[in-house]
């Protein structure tokens, strides 16, 4: 089936995935579908082979050897924001900062924290993204999910995702198409000030203008990964062309010539050093694809 879609131009072969991630590294996809509408997803269904869904690529590292299956990237047809009262509905490809700003203009509170997360709605729902004391599970009321194995889209309640800290039970074949969120009344100028404060904090404490994937590790209960790594004197630890940021120890920065192997190597090195010295096993927040466990 995919071979037929390649001939039609619906699916492409051998497309480099590095440019689709914030680290700008990684090998090619065996097949790539850039879906602009539901019909494109339906065209590749049912499909139960290896699959990878890419959003903004802000927490993703693909191995240098690439991905030997179908990669799906949703396009403009899944970009929409609708606000009715204090309910906000957003398509999968909408960046979270865009949701925050649209809600602010409408006087809908509860979304200011999203301005600090570089990912998109679909990925955020999948991983229960969050920061500054809030996360997706605190505002999500429903989500539309397309299952590649059946070709069916269903609306699901948050409880169905079994949310935990930075995780859900969604698997690779389940694609988030949109989410609906519940907000609350708040003055636009107050929301704008909250967003400015979050933006200032990010600028002051996180390495902007670099190739990175945001927070590398999940925070262990009652502590932060950045503090642990910093206190152990591991800032500027390096593997190849990737190093622990001097500005924030839970950000790893890739320089020119970096490889996915460098990133993976630094993550596993820091994991090992932290465990050896503290007994804490840091769990990556980033998703690694194509690497052995």
Residues in the chain: 293
Q: Quote the Cα angle for 252-212-135, to 5°.
A: 95
Active site residue 56: no
Residues 6+ apart with CB under 8 A from 61: 21, 23, 25, 26, 213, 260, 263, 264, 286, 287, 288, 289
**Annotated catalytic residue within 92, 215, 243, 245:** 215
**Annotated catalytic residue within 166, 168, 174, 202:** 166
The string of DSSP letters for 263-287 reads HHHHHHHHHHHHHHHHS--PPBSSE
SS3 label, residue 99: helix
Which residues on neighbouring strands pair with residue 144, listed in sequence order? 155, 178
**Hey, what's the torsion of the CAs at 73, 75, 78, 79, to 10 degrees?**
120
**Annotated catalytic residue within 73, 101, 245, 285:** 285
* CA of residue 219 relative to chain centroid, distance: 16
For residue 87, the 8-state DSSP code is E
Contact criterion met (CB below 8 Å) for 102 and 64: no
Determine the Cα–Cα distance for residues 96 and 40; give it in Å rounded to an integer: 24
- The token pair that represents 70 in the structure block: 């179908």
Active site residue 166: yes
The string of DSSP letters for 57-71 reads -TTEEE-TT-EEEEE
C-alpha count within 13 angstroms, C-beta hemisphere, residue 240: 19
Determine the Cα–Cα distance for residues 98 and 71; give it in Å rounded to an integer: 25
Active site residue 285: yes
* Residues tagged active-site: 166, 215, 285
């Amino acid at each position: 089936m995919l071979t037929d879609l390649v001939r039609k131009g619906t699916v492409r072969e051998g497309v480099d995935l590095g440019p689709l991630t914030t680290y700008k590294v990684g090998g090619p996809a065996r097949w790539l579908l850039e879906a602009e509408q539901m019909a494109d997803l339906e065209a590749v269904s049912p499909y139960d082979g290896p699959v990878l869904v890419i959003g903004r690529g802000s927490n993703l590292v693909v191995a240098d050897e690439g991905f030997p299956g179908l990669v799906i990237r949703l396009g403009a047809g899944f970009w929409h924001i609708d606000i009715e009262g204090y309910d906000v509905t957003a398509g999968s490809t909408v960046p979270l900062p865009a949701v925050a700003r649209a809600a602010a203009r409408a006087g809908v509170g509860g979304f200011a924290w999203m301005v600090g997360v570089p990912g998109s709605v679909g990925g955020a729902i999948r991983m229960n993204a969050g920061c500054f004391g809030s996360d997706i599970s605190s505002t999500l009321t429903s989500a539309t999910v397309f299952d590649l194995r059946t070709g069916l889209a269903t609306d699901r309640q948050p409880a169905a995702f079994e949310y935990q800290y930075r995780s859900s039970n969604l698997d690779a074949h389940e694609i988030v198409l949109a989410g609906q969120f519940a907000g609350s009344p708040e003055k636009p100028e107050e929301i704008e000030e909250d967003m400015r404060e979050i933006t200032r904090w990010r600028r002051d404490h996180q390495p902007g203008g670099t190739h990175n994937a945001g927070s590398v590790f999940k925070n262990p209960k009652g502590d932060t990964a950045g503090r642990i790594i910093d206190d152990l004197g591991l800032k500027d630890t390096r593997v190849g062309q990737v190093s622990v940021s001097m500005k924030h120890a839970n950000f790893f920065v890739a320089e020119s010539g970096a490889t996915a192997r460098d990133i993976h190597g630094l993550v596993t090195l820091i994991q090992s050093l932290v465990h050896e010295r503290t007994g804490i096993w840091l769990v990556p927040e980033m998703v690694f694809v194509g690497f052995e466990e």
